[in-house]
Amino acid sequence: MKPIRILVVDDSVVIRKLLSETLSEDPALEVVGTASDGRFALAKLSQLKPDLITLDIEMPVMNGLETLAAIRKLHPKLPVIMFSTLTEHGATATLDALSLGASDYATKPSNTGSFPIAIERIRAELIPKIKALCGTATAKIPGLAVARAASKLQPHINPWVEIVAIGTSTGGPNALAEVLPRIPADFPVPIVVVQHMPPIFTRLLAERLASRSAYPIEEGSSGTTISPGRAWIAPGNFHMKVIRTGLSSRLTLNQDAPENSCRPAVDVLFRSVAKAYGANVLGVVMTGMGSDGVLGAKDICEAGGNVIIQDEPSSVVWGMPGLVHASGLDDACYPLDQLAGEITRRVLHSRESRSHPDVRKTTVEQRAQ
């Protein structure tokens, strides 16, 4: 298999050298060129024909956002990973870049005071994203298909949905921007979301989504009582869980060890809603790299709830939803532009069946367990 050809674009000589040397150590990667600003990068595109570009945001002559816009006109599908600082300005610019068509982002390993630490961060964060965006096979996790198959043998007599839990990663900010603003203002259940992002980024993402939606969306905070018609996004570097006491539910945050190398982790959130709401959960797994969410989807299924996923053609990376599908845990698969309508349909349809005596009886029994 030919190595992935990478063009590194950054105005810092140190960063260009660090990225080039670190990426080139991986036999699956090849840095075919570097550029100090967007103008030089665009001039080299036709000659180098890279498979992927890493693009700095703050550069002289032609900055990253301007360069990205020009790249998208010439190469709409060429993967571009933005390289940004872990600051409010960097986070805002990164969200702007994602809305302009950037494939993903990685934060610069600044202020580490150590080249070995910086190199390790590049290896841990950037290299997996490069490989995921340039295509990797979706593996199946042993045992999960058996668990879902067993749960499907049990009749779904209670479709009542009390909470929607969404998990996403690579490509998630744009996917959420397609889904959440299309949910109606009178949505009768709460929505909880894990989007893999660092601190600052998650708050700005929640604010941006809220400005486009008809209902409140905010970053989750510990102790918050959740209620219908609102959405909460897990804050960066914190796991978010839903805890139920009687008829009331609240959010809790913790900094327990990362799961699937993630904090927040989708599995943590999904596991908590399955425990709190039993069969009355609708899980949604959207575009993302890695395996986070598949074990949580198993928990939701085993509790009697349903999980739907984003389809492969509309996903930036079909890692997370693809694993759920490969393990037989998804109830159905939808294009991104149909997800909001399907989530709304399922929740509203479940309201219609709420008065059915069998549903009331099952729900009471489940809450008593």
Find out whether 343 and 183 touch, Cβ atoms under 8 Å. Answer: yes
Q: How far is CA 120 from CA 72, 126, 127, 233, 288, in A?
A: 30, 10, 10, 28, 22
Structure-token pair, residue 364: 């009471």
CA neighbor of 194 nearest in space, from 237, 227, 231, 240: 240
CA neighbor of 254 nearest in space, from 284, 220, 222: 222
Specify whether 51 is catalytic. no
Residue 244 contacts by C-beta under 8 Å, 6 or more apart in sequence? 276, 277
Q: How far is CA 57 from the centre of its chain?
A: 22
Angle at 96 between CA 168 and CA 48, to 5 degrees: 90
Q: How far apart are CA 293 and CA 275, in angstroms?
A: 15
Catalytic one among 169, 213, 272, 315?
169
Structure-token pair, residue 341: 């309508």
Helices (H), the chain: 13-24, 38-48, 64-74, 88-99, 115-121, 127-133, 144-152, 172-179, 201-211, 266-277, 294-302, 319-326, 336-352, 357-368
Specify whether 84 is catalytic. no
Specify whether 349 is catalytic. no
Backbone phi and psi for residue 262, each to the nearest 5 degrees, phi listed first: -125, 140
Catalytic one among 10, 56, 104, 292?
292
CA neighbor of 264 nearest in space, from 292, 234, 293: 234
Catalytic one among 84, 151, 196, 272?
196
Which DSSP string corresponds to 216-249? -EEE--TTPBP-TT-EEEPPTT-EEEEEEETTEE
Q: How far apart are CA 69 and CA 337, in angstroms?
A: 23
Q: Hey, which residues are catalytic here? A: 169, 196, 292
